[in-house]
Amino acid sequence: MKPQLPTLPSLLEAHWSRFLPLLERQKRDQKLHPTLLITGLEGTGKKSLTLHFIQYLFCDQPNGFEPCGLCKSCKRSLQNQWLDLFWLEPETGTDETKLGHHKIETFREIKSKLGMGPMEEPFKVVVITEADRMTPQSSNSILKTLEEPPPNWVFILTAADSSRLLPTILSRCMEIRLNPLQPEQIFSALKEIKASEFNSDRSKFASRAAQGSLSRAVHFLEPEVWDLRELILGCLTNPASEWLPLVEKLSSSQRVMFMGLDLIESVFHDLLQFQVQGGQNEWAHEDQREFLIQWSEKKSLTHTKIIHVLEAIAEKRKLVALTLNAKLLAQDILIPLLETILS
């Protein structure tokens, strides 16, 4: 029986060359770097690989980089009984518009335990997820510990944007960068996640539209996205009658608005790639290729205009996070964007 693994085989394969051989060698030679920083876009597998790595680190008899799944440590890992693991997430924001930060109290608690050694496993591991959301105060409070970790303690930080970490923290860490995933890697991962519910056409669309992020691809598979896509394409064909239903639907909530912006962005990415590469790439909206080419020709859509729309979407996305009111979502965000697109 193949041991249960805490991450998807396709993710491991995607990041194998970057992530694994180095760490495997370090463990074998008992020279593990005590402060690791795993960086990469949202949805590239940072947390999932971190869990895999910890199980591997604790395992008595790993096979290559695969934990055996059978030893006492692996069983504890698989049952989530991690006595020697501290997994620190930032606080949840107080409302949808505020991102949370790591609480300084949590770090104080960790520091109070530094005198202790591992209880069951060869290492004590502290994971600080989204470390780029540590406040300067919490960063400073943990800095000394990262500079001189106690023996057999390993700190693993994950971050989407390492430039937001204090340089002094960055300089202590061995950084492992995860590349954005390729569409075919995302497609394989979706097959593993969705299993019997797997839909090949929609997964192809999701993996191409996701821009390297598995979690984005999973969002793109939600049935609602497909309906939204119909509305957006309908509005391109017939703005006079379809404009209003689209505005009403997208401004109904921040979540739907984000989905809509992602979709519109994916359409314009397809058109940009077509202009730059002459259509050699497969499209996210492959089934709409002819329609979108004709539409863009009719609109005389230039390269500059497409870039302008993509920039406007990035700008509007920031505003969506700050706007809760449906009327304002429509007025300040969606209508000006649609005017830019359809003008």
Residues interacting with Zn ion, by CB under 5 A?
59, 67-68, 71, 74
Among 178, 175, 174, 242, smallest CA distance to 213 is for 178
- Smaller CB separation from Zn ion, 43 or 69: 69
- Smaller CB separation from Zn ion, 74 or 250: 74
Q: How far is the CB of 156 from Zn ion (least distance, A)?
A: 19
Q: How far is the CB of 46 from Zn ion (least distance, A)?
A: 23
β-sheet bridge partners, residue 39: 159, 177
- Smaller CB separation from Zn ion, 6 or 45: 6
Q: How far is the CB of 65 from Zn ion (least distance, A)?
A: 12
d(CA 205, CA 88): 34
d(CA 105, CA 126): 15
- Smaller CB separation from Zn ion, 20 or 235: 20
DSSP 58-82: H-SS-BTTB--S-SHHHHHHHTT--
d(CA 89, CA 333): 31
Q: How far is the CB of 77 from Zn ion (least distance, A)?
A: 8
Among 315, 313, 332, smallest CA distance to 324 is for 332
Q: How far is CA 98 from CA 105, 148, 163, in A?
A: 20, 33, 20
- Smaller CB separation from Zn ion, 7 or 141: 7
Q: How far is the CB of 68 from Zn ion (least distance, A)?
A: 3
* 8 Å CB contact between 208 and 284: yes
DSSP letter, residue 130: T
* 8 Å CB contact between 207 and 262: no
Q: How far is the CB of 78 from Zn ion (least distance, A)?
A: 9
- Smaller CB separation from Zn ion, 68 or 326: 68
Q: How far is the CB of 10 from Zn ion (least distance, A)?
A: 22
d(CA 272, CA 36): 37
β-sheet bridge partners, residue 174: 36
- Smaller CB separation from Zn ion, 74 or 292: 74
